[in-house]
Structure 1
Amino acid sequence: MNATKKVAFYTLGCKLNFSETSTIARNFKDEGFSRVDFSEKADIYVINTCSVTENADKRFKTIVKKAQKVNPDAFVAAVGCYAQLKPEELADVHGVDLVLGATEKFKITDYLNDLSKNDFGEVHSCEIDEADFYVGSYSIGDRTRAFLKVQDGCDYKCTYCTIPLARGISRSDTLGNVLKNAAEISEKGIKEIVLTGVNIGDYGKGEFGNKKHEHTFFELCEALDEVSGIERLRISSIEPNLLKNETIDFVADSNTFVPHFHIPLQSGSNDLLKLMRRRYMSELYVDRVKRIKKVMPHSCIGVDVIVGFPGETEERFLETYQFLNELDISYLHVFTYSERDNTPAAEMDGVVPTKIRKKRSKMLRGLSAKKRRAFYESQLDSTRTVLFEGENKKGYIHGFTENYVKVKTPWNPELVNTLHTIQLTEIGEDGLVRFEFVNEKAIAS
């Protein structure tokens, strides 16, 4: 029955979710489905959910309505983190037919005996301690770069976070399978791979709760650096306490790993870091940034920070603001704290009023813009390599340098997914960097 059936996907949340959606989509293709865009008419719509922020929860209902508007008779399935945490809540949303939790999402096609609409959402979810096996994933076809999942779950117990409840214990792919997936990605002509997971610095823990590390994250980087055909490897978010000197130094000397790090901070106040149960103090964070900048002065460093956490007084917020202002970083990802069920932080005293949370978030976003501008200015007149994206945005093609400077030039389809040597010349009114080609010949085509 599936020969002419169409499936569409919508992904909320992180790079890890995108890699898993792509893998689920390949499973559908193997079953004879054809994939269409989410805005097109499909027989089944699959929504991969996120539960990091309250906003991601709210967006789910909007996306279901969007699917129903295109095809009221379509079968709607919800998978992912929110589906694991609040399956009954999702099942109650009008139009939802199937909800699959953490262990079931990769077996979605097994649940599709027929695509008739249900009177109510059917739930298949596990107790999260049953999520003790690993399913490898990577995304291709959607973007110029591929997201390669190397690790899942988390053993940390940060007081604000639902991820351990949604994804289970820390566990990793085998080194052999990661290398096999990386080789497959390379063979498809993709120039850049982004390593992703929940806590990738914890790479190496096996399945079934095995706490022993078969390999370290550093050993993973060493092995990936040897895979032929990959032009760029980029490390996504990595905890500061797990980013070791050996890894930083290795990236500095690597031909494929790029000088770009994204390191969660969450707060510049040690008092708040303790309340959050983070595994480092601000002094360690400073040390990591200094080490990176010492061996890679041109490197880009991104920072995650949470505003409005319980106990964040004006003094503690200003401590964070000043800490970040003085730090040699390139941009911020600012998250406004929202209470999550079944987390210790939701029960804490010192609740910050919503209005103040929004005000502080705006201040840090302003600081981020200032930091990014300063970083871009520091890169002017330097020679970099740019990888061009595949989308025509209002007559322009965009790309990123190895150290994550975003550039643009008039649209030229021949530039898509190619690498070029450029010289950064000036910052445009839109904040993006203009450049000149050092030579017109593509490094890789």
Structure 2
Amino acid sequence: MKKVAFYTLGCKLNFSETSAISRMFEAKGYEKVGFNQDPDIFIINTCSVTDNADKKCRKIVREAQQINPDGYVAIMGCYAQLKPQEISEIPGVDAVLGAAEKFRLLELIDTFEKAPSGERGRVLASPIEDAIAYHASYSLNDRTRTFLKVQDGCDYPCAYCTIPLARGKSRSDTISNVVAAAHQIAARGVREIVLTGVNIGDFGIIDGERRSSFLELVQALDQVEGIDRFRISSIEPNLLTDEIIAFVAASKRFVPHFHIPLQSGSNKVLGLMRRRYRRELYQDRVARIKSLMPGCCIGVDVIVGHPGETHEEFLETYHFLNELDVSYLHVFTYSERPNTPATGIRPVVPMKTRSERSQILHVLSEKKRRHFYESQVGTTATVLFEEGDHEGNMQGFTGNYVKVRAVFDPLLINETKKVVLRQVDAEGLMEIAEPEDILV
């Protein structure tokens, strides 16, 4: 049978879906190979959160053509749903599949015969309103941990975001299906599951009706034997309830790590963004977490240069974050996305100013991360060890997301061990100085 290769751009959700689709190919007898191993078929799963993601897609198509000029190239994912006609005109693209079609790829394209030279790619992309089915997905064999999709789509019309246009309305799996998937993953020897989705705090909507809640989901997963730890990938602050925080604090398996989007520390800009909370609620969520889990890691998404953001409002964000007890930042430079309300907001922040603000927050993030790491020095933590590097070392993460470096030991790969955290090295990693620092 033909050889197929996959390339994924974007988020954890995309990785889980790519992995699920690749297993569908393997079940049909296709041989999954690396991207540079002369595959007959290239499947590229795209992202369109920023303009740069679109450019990356084009670059990957060019790379595929260089590897195998006769290879069949199919594009799916968010960019494919948003701009199918534009993608179909990229030289070398044979098919474009939208959100409602990507899991039917093998059904819709049975022969994978390349189109004659000069012909545009075939477009198989329905309106986003047709993307109503839920497709369960999880990643396997890609990383030490598994990304388990529990929810898809989003009903939050944030001014800057195309995700509702690319993935459709919020919808979820059932709790029983998610628990069954967790048992399957545990049987593969995976130690950590990361719960992922577009808006996982909104978990529980099935066929347009709310049937359950995210709290009920995490309570059920906490009973799954064989998984050492569960991690929540990202959750909106207005959906992160006191009950969820308290449950994680007392949980057997859910780790003390939250990633909570903020986007701006200015209430005026949050209003322009159409976010569903204000900075006071965010501050309250952080305080609540730290009161129950002082060593909890808290990551923050923040956007700089959103239309209407003045210098004073950016400084509001900076000072708010500087004073907040959080551990690291994911900084996004605003980029214009077609058909989003933000494109009509004035004034527009110049690109040079956006870049300057981004750099300032990147520096703050490193300061926050190092401060958090140093606060953990001398403590005992459980580390899940991963593959080694080329320098005789290996790395892993604690439950509260401290990245640890140790001397390579093949017996430690995919094992959880208690360790003493000794010092932060010059590269900003937590270092285990001696083998005896690994306790059990």
Asked if TM exceeds 0.5, the reply is yes
Give the counterpart of 2:23 among 12, 26, 30: 26
2:178 matched to which residue of 1?
178
Q: Is the 8 A contact 2:150 2:195 kept in 1?
A: yes
1:120 matched to which residue of 2?
120
1:414 matched to which residue of 2?
411
Q: Is the 8 A contact 1:143 1:390 kept in 2?
A: no
2:368 matched to which residue of 1?
371
1:86 matched to which residue of 2?
83
Residue by residue over 1:81-123, the C-alpha shift from the partner in whole angstroms, topping out at 9 and shown as x without a partner, is: 0000000111111100010000100111113332322132000
Q: Is the 8 A contact 2:79 2:166 kept in 1?
A: yes
Superposed, 1:81-230 pairs within 5 Å as 81-118=78-115, 119-207=119-207, 210=208, 212-230=209-227
Distance in structure 2 (CA, Å) of the matches to 1:214 and 1:111: 32
1:9 matched to which residue of 2?
6
Secondary structure in structure 2 of the residue aligned to 1:390: strand
User: TM-score, with normalisation over the residues of structure 1?
Assistant: 0.96
Distance in structure 2 (CA, Å) of the matches to 1:222 and 1:349: 45
Q: Is the 8 A contact 1:263 1:304 kept in 2?
A: yes
Superposed, 1:382-401 pairs within 5 Å as 382-401=379-398
2:425 matched to which residue of 1?
428
Q: Is the 8 A contact 2:131 2:168 kept in 1?
A: yes
Q: Is the 8 A contact 2:420 2:439 kept in 1?
A: no
What is the CA-CA distance between 1:54 and the residue it aligns to? 0.6
Distance in structure 2 (CA, Å) of the matches to 1:427 and 1:145: 24
Q: Is the 8 A contact 1:172 1:205 kept in 2?
A: yes
1:332 matched to which residue of 2?
329
Q: Is the 8 A contact 2:146 2:192 kept in 1?
A: yes
2:315 matched to which residue of 1?
318
The amino acid that maps onto 1:59 is: K
Distance in structure 2 (CA, Å) of the matches to 1:431 and 1:441: 23
Q: Is the 8 A contact 1:150 1:178 kept in 2?
A: yes
What is the CA-CA distance between 1:34 and the residue it aligns to? 1.0
CA distance 1:36–1:405, shift in 2 (3 Å): same
Distance in structure 2 (CA, Å) of the matches to 1:56 and 1:394: 31
Distance in structure 1 (CA, Å) of the matches to 2:346 and 2:28: 52
Residue by residue over 1:236-256, the C-alpha shift from the partner in whole angstroms, topping out at 9 and shown as x without a partner, is: 110000000001010001110
Q: Are 1:305 and 2:272 an aligned pair?
A: no
Distance in structure 2 (CA, Å) of the matches to 1:166 and 1:437: 48
Residue by residue over 1:354-395, the C-alpha shift from the partner in whole angstroms, topping out at 9 and shown as x without a partner, is: 000000000000000000000000000000000011243433
Q: Which runs of 5+ in 1 are unaligned?
A: none
1:74 matched to which residue of 2?
71
The amino acid that maps onto 1:127 is: P
The amino acid that maps onto 1:295 is: L
Secondary structure in structure 2 of the residue aligned to 1:417: coil
Distance in structure 2 (CA, Å) of the matches to 1:312 and 1:438: 51
Q: Is the 8 A contact 1:421 1:438 kept in 2?
A: no
Q: Is the 8 A contact 1:305 1:332 kept in 2?
A: yes
The amino acid that maps onto 2:126 is: C
Give the counterpart of 1:243 among 240, 243, 250: 240
Secondary structure in structure 1 of the residue aligned to 2:216: helix
Q: Is the 8 A contact 2:7 2:35 kept in 1?
A: yes
Secondary structure in structure 2 of the residue aligned to 1:389: strand
The amino acid that maps onto 2:404 is: V
What is the CA-CA distance between 1:133 and the residue it aligns to? 1.3
- Pairwise CA RMSD: 1.1
Q: Is the 8 A contact 2:419 2:439 kept in 1?
A: no
Give the counterpart of 1:355 among 352, 356, 361: 352
What is the CA-CA distance between 1:438 and the residue it aligns to? 5.9
Give the counterpart of 1:46 among 38, 43, 49: 43
Distance in structure 2 (CA, Å) of the matches to 1:410 and 1:72: 43
Q: Are 1:63 and 2:57 an aligned pair?
A: no
Distance in structure 1 (CA, Å) of the matches to 2:99 and 2:17: 11
What is the CA-CA distance between 1:348 and the residue it aligns to? 1.1
User: TM-score, with normalisation over the residues of structure 2?
Assistant: 0.97
What is the CA-CA distance between 1:65 and the residue it aligns to? 0.9
Q: Is the 8 A contact 2:134 2:173 kept in 1?
A: yes
What is the CA-CA distance between 1:38 and the residue it aligns to? 1.2
The amino acid that maps onto 2:137 is: S
What is the CA-CA distance between 1:441 and the residue it aligns to? 6.5
1:285 matched to which residue of 2?
282
The amino acid that maps onto 2:313 is: R
Secondary structure in structure 2 of the residue aligned to 1:144: coil
The amino acid that maps onto 1:385 is: T
Q: Is the 8 A contact 1:179 1:223 kept in 2?
A: yes
Secondary structure in structure 2 of the residue aligned to 1:319: helix
